[in-house]
Amino acid sequence: MPSKFVDRRVLVTGGAGFIGSHLCERLLEQGAEVLCLDNLFTGRKANIAHLLGNPAFEFLRHDVTIPINAEVDEVFNLACPASPVHYQFDPVQTTKTSVMGAINVLGLAKRLRIPVLQASTSEVYGDPQVHPQTEAYWGNVNPIGPRSCYDEGKRCAETLFFDYHRQHSLAIKVVRIFNTYGPRMHPNDGRVVSNFVVQALRNQPITIFGDGSQTRSFCYVDDLVEGLLGMMRTPAEITGPINLGNPSEFTVAQLANLVIEITNSKSTIDFRPLPQDDPRQRKPDISLAKHHLGWGPTINLRQGLKRTVSYFERLLSLGRSENGIAERDIPAKYPARLVS
């Protein structure tokens, strides 16, 4: 069966980011023309440098909070800083990116009458009181806390998507992404995997916030991208939201010890106070993804960590951060935290 994306012109907002750049690659492999839109706040041109010579790939530096004028066949909306280090640096802009960005991509999709996919997040569940988290769960979110700009911004974006669907019969897809990791993660973005790997490779103490008993479920980026593509392939009546993540659950302490083992590191564990509103547990119920997409993760944590460690080893051997990013580019006032 031919790919759904052959001869399709696809807009990927946030396309120069960690997940977005991998999605652009897979779309090109499946025969699509790709318009990659990114303002390069957290995305980096180095993530897509190897794609720039491809005649089917185009990069547009643009902020999604500004209306978009493009002629495309479908849209993947991934634009938004996704780690506390980045989204708390300018929380007002983070909310604008989620809300105004959603309005702008929905407006584009409405004008062109094309399908649009929203990359939402497990953060919409907040610090969940239901475990594992199903799409029917409404969440336990603090609307005025330091994480609210991201959590509530994404929740509002979902609201907008479903209102456009009901009011304008727009073809929408909404996925909720759980912790994802892999090559091209920013080494200083505060996400738990990149933080642990970089600290272990440098033989520095591994920073765990809380006692390490809080749980996360880690999905390798290649698996996640296949889920995004699969969701866009579903019939129009499948709108979501649908969870995308790996239901294998690990404590943060287990992750730290596995990273130390894989890197053969001399790192010790440094326990620090848990940040406000940090979720105690995260595990997706992916029953809907299995049923509607035929999707499930194929890469286990050990396999994915080995690939991720190899990536960071190459970066550190060059004596620089990922994509040449200097320490001064990362806001120092925010500690590393755990985030989807």
More confident residue, 281 or 322: 281
According to DSSP, the β-strands at 269-272 and 206-209 are: parallel
pLDDT at 227 over 90: yes
Identify the active-site residue in 150, 164, 220, 311. 150
| Of the listed ranges 97-101, 148-152, 156-160, the one predicted with least confidence | 148-152
**Local structure of 179: helix, strand or coil:** coil
User: pTM score, two decimals?
Assistant: 0.90
User: Is position 87 annotated as part of the catalytic site?
Assistant: no
Residues 130-158, mean pLDDT to the nearest whole number: 93
293, 226 in Cβ contact below 8 A?
Answer: no
pLDDT at 210 over 90: no
| Of the listed ranges 88-92, 155-159, 305-309, 310-314, the one predicted with least confidence | 88-92
Residues constituting the chain = 340
Q: All domains of the chain, ordered by start, with CATH?
A: 9-329 (3.40.50.720)
pLDDT at 137 over 60: yes
In the chain, the largest separation of any two C-alpha atoms, in whole Å, equals 58
Task: Please provide the average confidence, as pLDDT, over all residues in the chain.
Answer: 89
pLDDT at 328 over 60: no
Q: What is the pLDDT of residues 73-97, one digit of tens each?
A: 999 999 987 766 766 778 898 999 9
More confident residue, 27 or 326: 27
Q: Specify the pLDDT at position 251.
A: 94
Q: Specify the pLDDT at position 1.
A: 42
Residues 236-258, mean pLDDT to the nearest whole number: 96
Residues 181-198, mean pLDDT to the nearest whole number: 90
Quick one: DSSP state of residue 275?
Answer: P
Q: Specify the pLDDT at position 319.
A: 65
d(CA 154, CA 137): 15
Q: Specify the pLDDT at position 189.
A: 79
- Least Cα distance to 153 among 108, 121, 105 occurs for 121
pLDDT at 191 over 90: no
Question: CB 66: neighbour CB atoms within 10 A?
Answer: 11
According to DSSP, the β-strands at 249-251 and 242-244 are: unpaired
Q: What is the pLDDT of residues 254-272, one digit of tens each?
A: 999 999 999 999 999 999 8
Local confidence band at 338 (pLDDT 50, 70, 90 cut-offs): very low
Query: For residue 102, what are the contacts with CB-CB under 8 A and spacing of at least 6?
Result: 77, 118, 156, 157, 160, 161
